């Protein structure tokens, strides 16, 4: 537009603007140099560069120091506001105060990690950060890395084995599988043999829906054995209810069932590899004090 001079910001040394701000406040090179911890000649050099950059004398000799030009007067308030905003932007993050925080946390979890991590975490949050809110979202294993990058979720819980690239990770615990049945199950007064184990009616969790084959079946096949799976469910919590009310048995994660008085837990007769659960978060929140506090809470409750 006519009459407007466009300044290339890449040419501007931020130190020059700081010097100009102090010069406009002091209107005296000597006092400005003292405030800036610079020599008077160095301040004069900065002023010369500013005059060249802005094509204006900016400060002229006066009876009591220096007198700002009209251009300098017009710059005074916008420059002060800009430098204050920049100072706030780069200032160290304030310490997080959970008792006064009003944040909403969004955590992606399965029903298993909701029970083993989110539930104990909720008790901690209500005690230490009563004004925060917690949203537990369904974990989509193929999408949670992108959700974390986009800020849709703050943290996700997932197995370490299938860790996505591009996220920070912290291992939380290692889980093992146990044999689970209702209390008083007539065929489980003691640890069963492989043959007795295979003769029982089994239930499994099939996250993809409707499957009747799991890693237990692979382990049995190596021994030349097989079992009968009669129930396939999509969630661990429904599995727990089904076991408590029938004579079905299942291989289930120990943390999910060990505190349920309706169920009995024992070591299975077949070795089955466990799994490790980790929490995941994006680099963009890694140094955020509030997010760091949340991660520390999660570690403490598990």
For the chain, domains (ranges, CATH) are 9-89 (1.10.10.10), 103-174+277-301 (3.40.190.10), 177-273 (3.40.190.10)
Q: Does 9 have pLDDT greater than 80?
A: no
What residues pair up with 228 in beta bridges, in sequence order? 201
Phi and psi at residue 89, in whole multiples of 5°? Answer: -65, -35
Residue pair 265/180 in contact by the 8 Å Cβ criterion: yes
pLDDT tier at 3 (50, 70, 90 boundaries)? very low
**All residues at 6 or more sequence positions from 275 whose CB lies less than 8 Å from its CB, including other chains:** 159, 160, 161, 174, 175, 253
- Angle in degrees, 0-180, between the axes of helices 14-26 and 40-54, rounded to the nearest 10: 110
Phi and psi at residue 136, in whole multiples of 5°? Answer: -95, 120
| 253 C-beta neighbours (distance < 10 Å), count | 21
Q: What radius of gyration do the chain's Cα atoms show?
A: 33
> How far apart are alpha carbons 200 and 217 in whole angstroms?
13
Looking at residue 1, its pLDDT comes to 40
DSSP E strand stretches across 129-268: 133-138, 155-159, 168-175, 177-182, 201-205, 228-233, 250-253, 263-266
274: left (phi over 0), alpha (psi -120 to 50) or beta: beta
Mean pLDDT of 240-255: 96
Q: How many helices (H) and strands (E) does the chain have?
A: 12, 12
> How far apart are alpha carbons 71 and 147 in whole angstroms?
48
Looking at residue 66, its pLDDT comes to 87
Mean pLDDT of 222-234: 96
How many CA atoms within 13 Å lie on the side-chain side of 29?
A: 16
Condensed to tens digits (0 to 9), the pLDDT of residues 275-293 reads: 999 999 999 999 999 999 9
Q: Does 92 have pLDDT greater than 80?
A: no
pLDDT tier at 13 (50, 70, 90 boundaries)? confident
pLDDT tier at 89 (50, 70, 90 boundaries)? confident
Q: What is the mean pLDDT of the chain?
A: 91
Q: Is 58 exposed, middle or buried (0-12, 13-18, 19+ CB in 10 A)?
A: buried
Q: What is the largest CA-CA distance in the chain?
A: 106
Phi and psi at residue 155, in whole multiples of 5°? Answer: -145, 150
Structure tokens at 207: 């996250």
Mean pLDDT of 211-237: 94
Condensed to tens digits (0 to 9), the pLDDT of residues 132-163 reads: 999 999 998 889 999 999 999 999 999 999 88
Q: Note every long-range contact of 131-134, with CB atoms under 8 Å and residues 24 or more positions apart, other chains counting.
A: 131/99, 131/100, 131/101, 131/102, 132/98, 132/101, 132/102, 132/103, 132/104, 132/105, 133/103, 133/104, 133/105, 134/104, 134/105, 134/107
Residue pair 188/249 in contact by the 8 Å Cβ criterion: yes
pLDDT tier at 12 (50, 70, 90 boundaries)? confident
């Amino acid at each position: 537009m006519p009459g407007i001079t466009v300044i290339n910001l890449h040419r501007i040394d931020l130190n020059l603007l700081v010097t100009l701000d102090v010069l406009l406040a002091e209107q005296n090179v000597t006092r400005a140099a003292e405030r800036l911890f610079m020599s008077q000649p160095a301040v004069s050099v900065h002023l010369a560069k500013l005059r060249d950059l802005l094509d204006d004398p900016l400060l002229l000799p006066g009876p009591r120091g220096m007198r700002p030009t009209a251009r300098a007067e017009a710059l005074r308030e916008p420059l002060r506001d800009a430098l204050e905003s920049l100072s706030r932007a780069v200032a160290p993050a304030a310490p997080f105060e959970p008792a006064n925080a009003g944040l909403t946390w969004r955590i992606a979890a399965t029903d298993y990690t909701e029970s083993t991590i989110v539930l104990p975490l909720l008790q901690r949050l209500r005690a230490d950060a009563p004004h925060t809110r917690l949203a537990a979202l369904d974990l989509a294993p193929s999408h949670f890395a992108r959700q974390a990058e986009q800020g849709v979720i703050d943290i996700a819980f997932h197995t370490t084995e299938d860790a996505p690239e591009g996220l920070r990770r912290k291992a939380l615990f290692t889980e093992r599988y146990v044999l689970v049945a209702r209390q008083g199950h007539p065929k489980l007064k003691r640890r069963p043999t492989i043959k007795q184990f295979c003769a029982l009616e089994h239930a499994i969790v099939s996250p993809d829906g409707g499957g009747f084959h799991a890693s237990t079946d692979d382990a049995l096949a190596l021994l030349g054995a097989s079992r009968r799976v009669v129930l396939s469910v999509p969630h661990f919590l429904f599995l727990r209810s089904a076991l408590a009310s029938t004579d079905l048995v299942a291989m289930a994660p120990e943390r999910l069932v060990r505190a349920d008085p309706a169920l009995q837990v024992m070591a299975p007769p077949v070795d089955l590899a466990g799994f490790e659960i980790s929490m995941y978060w994006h680099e963009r929140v890694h140094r955020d004090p509030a997010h760091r506090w949340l991660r520390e809470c999660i570690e403490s409750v598990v």
